[in-house]
Structure 1
């Protein structure tokens, strides 16, 4: 079963330890965090693209948004029903891998819904995004944006059009997930 035409989306997946990586990513995203090691998806290549200088100030460049165009386009085109079918098929293994983390207060299904909610809560930011560079890494100049969870900052870094496409697809997925009865595995 393919999620996107020609298996193009699968080229973004990291092939080893897939179940554990997706569980770790969903668990981190449910807390608003991004995982940097052991990601289930390949990292977007290249450094962040900015305009401006230290004298005049930095802005996140629209060129930076284009780095996310291909994976976002593929995700937006992914067949939602196929995503749900694969989720249902793999759910027992996902739930087992989640239980191995020793977290008992939520089901993996609740974690996935929470992760989606965190992404959907990312603010929509239009216009130039001001940055500062107090050290090696750039930060948002707006303290409200800089205090956002990592998953929401990622949504801003991918640009308003890409963020809107991701949110639209996640709303479709969430609606289907909320309709779905999930049987938790008993230990």
Structure 2
């Protein structure tokens, strides 16, 4: 595992990729529910009658066309870009870049650097799905507790103080130069593409998926009031020692949202709007006009 060491000077602030923005801004400070991976249901295969003799056999479906191709990195002033490490050996370089950006203290506090590229790709893909398992997060959950407030009507909702937990995250993201981040994303793109194909999407293009997830998160409505929540009852003899991880949105429409959209709703409306503005900036740079 890569372990960052303190430095007396810092190179220009660069982040590993635009992927890091998406992952860190909504995945790193979740700390509400403990997601458990769910096995995808087996597809239902309808019986097909045999084709009459002599019927031409249809061709296999073509690989989907790339919608948002990534431009190659700009040529360096001298010598060209250094060769990329293999995906299996990329942790050291990725860790150094993140340490330059976030400082060793922040990297140790917030990030999981072992297998970072694979973790980032898996989490980005999961953000638009129902579950985003913590086992594959490239970031650490929020160390503080989720809190609620009870109104005069007895209804519990997210406490406004929760948004303070996310302030360090928002400040960190705002401090990163998006143009530099995306330039480095282009440089490291082959690693993310390889990780995406290994995840189970051969022939698919990771940047297309990234743009889909960006659009999905950007379209998350900003709540006008603190969403109501309900503590899920757990029956049994063993007393729950962490009840704050068992809250769900009371509104079924909110509870049915994707993992990424739920995360955005929990950071508070002011933080959500700032983060969505950053996501729009990223999308303009990674998506084909």
TM-score, length-scaled by structure 2? 0.57
Any stretches of 5+ residues in structure 2 without a counterpart?
1-11, 16-99, 234-242
What secondary structure sits across from 1:68 in the alignment?
Answer: helix
Shift of the alpha carbon at 1:156? 0.5
Distance 1:30 1:82 in 2: 26
For residues 53-106 of structure 1, the C-alpha deviation after alignment (integer angstroms, 9 at most, x for no partner) is 8x8121100111111111122112211011101211110111111111231363
Q: Does 1:62 align with 2:160?
A: yes
RMSD: 2.3
Go from structure 1 to structure 2 and tell me whether the alpha carbon gap of 1:3 and 1:125 turns closer, same or farther (over 3 Å shift). farther
What secondary structure sits across from 1:67 in the alignment?
Answer: helix
Distance 1:105 1:159 in 2: 38
- More displaced stretch, 77-86 vs 101-110: 101-110
Q: Does 1:2 align with 2:100?
A: no
Shift of the alpha carbon at 1:159? 0.5
* Residue pairs, 1:85-124, within 5 angstroms: 85-104=183-202, 106-124=204-222
Distance 2:140 2:183 in 1: 23
Distance 1:32 1:165 in 2: 24
For 1:161, which of 270, 277, 285 is the aligned residue?
270
What secondary structure sits across from 1:41 in the alignment?
Answer: coil
Q: Show the counterpart of 1:184.
A: none
Distance 2:144 2:269 in 1: 20
Shift of the alpha carbon at 1:169? 0.3
What secondary structure sits across from 1:132 in the alignment?
Answer: strand
For residues 87-146 of structure 1, the C-alpha deviation after alignment (integer angstroms, 9 at most, x for no partner) is 111101111111112313630111111111121121110223211113251111122111
For 1:128, which of 203, 226, 246 is the aligned residue?
226
Q: Show the counterpart of 2:170.
A: 72
Deviation >4 Å, runs of 4+: none
Q: Judge conservation of contact 1:49–1:64 (CA < 8 Å) in 2.
A: yes
* Residue pairs, 1:37-48, within 5 angstroms: 37-48=135-146
Distance 1:51 1:66 in 2: 15
For 1:144, which of 253, 261, 277 is the aligned residue?
253
Q: How many residues align?
A: 179
Q: Judge conservation of contact 2:128–2:258 (CA < 8 Å) in 1.
A: no
TM-score, length-scaled by structure 1? 0.86
* Structure (1/2) with the larger helix percentage: 1
Go from structure 1 to structure 2 and tell me whether the alpha carbon gap of 1:33 and 1:169 turns closer, same or farther (over 3 Å shift). farther
Q: Judge conservation of contact 2:163–2:271 (CA < 8 Å) in 1.
A: yes
Q: Judge conservation of contact 2:131–2:259 (CA < 8 Å) in 1.
A: yes
Q: Show the counterpart of 2:119.
A: 21
